[in-house]
Copies of this chain bind each other. A is one copy, B any other.
Amino acid sequence: MFDSISIIGCGLIGSSILRAIKNKKLAKEIKIFDHSKEVTAYLKKENICTDVSSDIRQCVVNSDLIIIATPLSSYKEIILSIKDSLKKDVILTDTGSVKKEVMKIIHNINLKDVHWIPSHPIAGTEESGPKAGQAEMFENRWCIISPPENCAEQPIKKLKTLWETIGSKVKIMTPAEHDEILSLTSHLPHAIAYNIVRTVMSVEDKLKQEVIQYSAGGLRDFTRIAASNPIMWRDIFLDNSENVAKGIDNFIERLNELKKAVNDKNGDKLYQIFNATKEIRKEIIKAGQDTSKPDFGRKKD
C-alpha cells in the first residue's frame, strides 16, 4: 500500500500502529523515531522494528506516509524539524485527540506539497509505552479523519484505507465537529474522573487507606480512567480548553441540581434523574458501543 511509512513516537498508540501495519504488510519499509532510548531499545530487542532512526529528518526523508503519535505539545517542534526533509506529496497524519489548535500550527508553518490529514483513532488503554501496545488495538474502533477543506481526494482515500485495513471504522468530520464531540465523549468524562479521584483522596490518611481498601464499589473504575498518560491529557485540556470549560460549567449546574434534590430529600426528583440515565445506556448498547453483558468487576483471583 505504501513504499515507506515513518512513525514518530512509538508509545502505546504509535507502537500499536507499527505492529498492525507490520502484521498486515502495508509497507515495504517502516522507519521509526522516538526520543526515548528506552522505547527504541525495547522495540529493537523485541524485534518489533529494527529500522530505528536517531535523526528525525533521516526517519522521514523517503516516506510516503508519516504518522505523528506523540503528545500534542510536541507537534510544532517535530514539524519544524522535518519540514525541509519531506518527499513531494507525502501524506502527513497524526493520532492526537484535539484538532483545531493543531490545524492552526500547521497552517502557520505553511507546508508545501504535503497532504496534511489529521487522524484520531478512538482507541487506547490507561497504560502508556510500547509494552502496552497491541496490533489489535484498532479493531472495530472508530477512527476520525479531519482533512482540511482544500485537501485532495486521493490521499484521503489512501489514509482511510490504511485505517480500515488495520481494523478501524472511519468517519470523516471537520476539526470543530471533532473537538466538540470528543469534549463530550472523552475529555469532559476524563476531567470528571480525575476530579472524583482527587476529591475522594483528599480525605485524611486513615480514611484514605479504608477508601482504597473498599474501592471496588464504583471508585475503582474512575481510578482506571484517571490513570492515563498525564502529559497527553495536559495537552488535550490545553488545546480543547474552550469546549472543556463549557462542559465543566454545564456539569456543575446539573450537579447543583442533584445536590438540591439530595438536601431536600426529594425522592421523586432523584428517581427521575437516575431513571433517565438508564435509558441512555440502552441507546449506547444499541449503537454497538458496548455490550449489555454485565461487568462483575475486573479483579481476577
Q: Name A's B-contacting residues (CB within 8 A).
A: 73, 122-123, 125-127, 132, 134, 136-137, 139-142, 144, 171, 177, 180-182, 184-203, 207, 210-228, 230-231, 233-234, 237-238, 241, 244-245, 247-252, 254-256, 258-259, 261-263, 265, 267, 270-271, 273-278, 280-281, 283-284, 287-291, 293-301
Complex Cα distance A291/B73, Å? 31
- B122–A283 touching, CB < 8 Å: no
Known: A125-B294, A271-B230, A299-B290. A194 touches B258 (CB 8 A): yes
- B287–A215 touching, CB < 8 Å: yes
- A218–B274 touching, CB < 8 Å: no
Would you give the shortest CB distance from A204 to chain B, in whole angstroms?
A: 11
- A274–B193 touching, CB < 8 Å: no
Copy count, this protein chain: 2
Complex Cα distance A244/B226, Å? 21
Known: A230-B278, A270-B238, A278-B230. A289 touches B247 (CB 8 A): no
Partner of A296, one of B125, B273, B295: B125
- A300–B294 touching, CB < 8 Å: no
- B217–A274 touching, CB < 8 Å: no
A-B residue pairs, 7 tightest by C-beta: A125-B294, A186-B217, A230-B274, A227-B281, A189-B218, A226-B277, A230-B275
Complex Cα distance A194/B218, Å? 12
- B214–A277 touching, CB < 8 Å: no
Known: A126-B295, A230-B271. A196 touches B251 (CB 8 A): yes
- B213–A289 touching, CB < 8 Å: yes
Complex Cα distance A165/B31, Å? 57
Q: Which residues of B contact A296 (CB under 8 A)?
A: 125, 134, 136-137
Would you give the shortest CB distance from A207 to chain B, in whole angstroms?
A: 7
- A258–B248 touching, CB < 8 Å: yes
Known: A219-B184, A270-B234. A298 touches B295 (CB 8 A): yes
Q: List 8 A-B contacts (CB under 8 A).
A: A139-B301, A181-B210, A185-B217, A185-B218, A223-B284, A224-B290, A226-B281, A230-B274
Q: Which residues of B contact A241 (CB under 8 A)?
A: 262-263, 265
In the complex formed, the residue of B with least CB distance to A177 is B210
Would you give the shortest CB distance from A132 to chain B, in whole angstroms?
A: 6
Q: Which residues of B contact A230 (CB under 8 A)?
A: 271, 274-275, 278
